[in-house]
């Protein structure tokens, strides 16, 4: 079975239980049987083999029989700080950022921001990360950070990190020399854009303004484009 399933805190020799949609999917759609082996992840960086020992209507029990260290992470830490869009576009952004290998997503609170990142919406985004990770083969989950005010965030990140702020008036991203910093932070503003005070604060803190071309991109497009370019060029 090529599909992967998620459970918390897996360890060889212990039991795991799938419930809810995952259990139903295994039992009803994939017609799993006792003795079948499936691939599991717990988000900690490894992949596991689980052997099914019991199936009921609402749960599937497994013995965890093997652990494989299998990293599909970027060779550096990539943090995406973004003023989240609403609804489906937010979901899309989280899915794509997970696929592209973003290490951590920080919801940025900006003056013109629209989405309020409540605990319930952060939990929903975390579930989105799990779904995307199952599909794309990632064994370490993208972290969803606590929301932070943009100004505080800009000044908190040290100069040992490459810090790029997406701004249509910035220098072309393609002209930026490849760098070898320990980590990269990229920031993307809300649909209304960062205010000039926010941009000035980032610049004062040493962030570089980078342009993604002459067209105005939506928040999630800019975030995904920037993450993809950085992943390619700074890996």
Least distance CB 74 / ligand SAH (angstroms): 21
Counting contacts by CB under 6 A, is residue 117 touching ligand SAH? no
* H-only helix segments in the chain: 20-24, 87-100, 119-136, 150-156, 196-204, 219-233
Please pick, from the candidates 75, 137, 206, 213, the single residue that binds ligand SAH as defined by CB under 6 A. 213
Please pick, from the candidates 40, 212, 229, 230, the single residue that binds ligand SAH as defined by CB under 6 A. 212
29 closest CA partner among 64, 65, 3, 62: 3
Site string for ligand SAH, 170-189 (x = CB under 6 A): ------------------xx
Beta strand 46-55 pairing with 37-41: antiparallel
Whether the CB-CB separation of 7 and 139 falls below 8 Å is answered with: no
Beta strand 59-69 pairing with 15-19: antiparallel
Site string for ligand SAH, 9-48 (x = CB under 6 A): ----------------------------------------
- Name the E strands within the chain: 4-6, 15-19, 37-41, 46-55, 59-69, 77-82, 104-109, 143-144, 148-149, 162-172, 183-188, 208-211
Counting contacts by CB under 6 A, is residue 211 touching ligand SAH? yes
Least distance CB 13 / ligand SAH (angstroms): 48
Phi and psi at residue 197, to the nearest 5°: -65, -40
Counting contacts by CB under 6 A, is residue 206 touching ligand SAH? no
Least distance CB 152 / ligand SAH (angstroms): 18
Token digits of residue 55 = 């199936």
Nearer residue to ligand SAH within complex by CB, 46 or 188:
188
Could you list the residues that contact ligand SAH (CB under 6 A)? 166-168, 188-189, 191-194, 211-213, 215-217, 219, 222
């Amino acid at each position: 079975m090529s599909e992967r399933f998620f459970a918390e805190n897996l360890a060889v020799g212990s039991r795991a239980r799938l419930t809810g949609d995952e259990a139903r999917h295994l039992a009803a759609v994939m017609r799993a049987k006792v003795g079948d082996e499936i691939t599991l992840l717990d988000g900690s960086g490894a992949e596991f083999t689980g052997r099914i020992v019991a199936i009921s209507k609402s749960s599937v029990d497994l013995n965890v029989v093997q652990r494989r260290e299998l990293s599909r992470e970027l060779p550096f830490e990539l943090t995406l700080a973004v003023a989240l869009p609403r609804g489906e576009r937010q979901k899309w952004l989280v899915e794509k950022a997970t696929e592209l290998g973003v290490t951590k997503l920080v919801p940025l609170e900006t003056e013109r921001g629209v989405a309020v990142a409540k605990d319930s919406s952060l939990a929903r985004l975390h579930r989105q990360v799990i779904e995307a990770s199952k599909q794309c083969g990632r064994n370490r989950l993208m972290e969803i950070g606590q929301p932070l005010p943009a100004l505080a965030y800009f000044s908190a990140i040290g100069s040992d990190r490459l810090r790029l702020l997406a701004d249509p008036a910035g220098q072309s991203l393609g002209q930026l020399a490849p760098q070898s910093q320990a980590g990269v932070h990229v920031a993307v503003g809300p649909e209304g854009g960062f205010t000039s005070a926010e941009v000035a604060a980032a610049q004062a803190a040493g962030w570089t303004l980078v342009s993604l071309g002459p067209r105005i991109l939506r928040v999630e497009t800019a975030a995904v484009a920037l993450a993809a370019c950085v992943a390619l060029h700074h890996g």
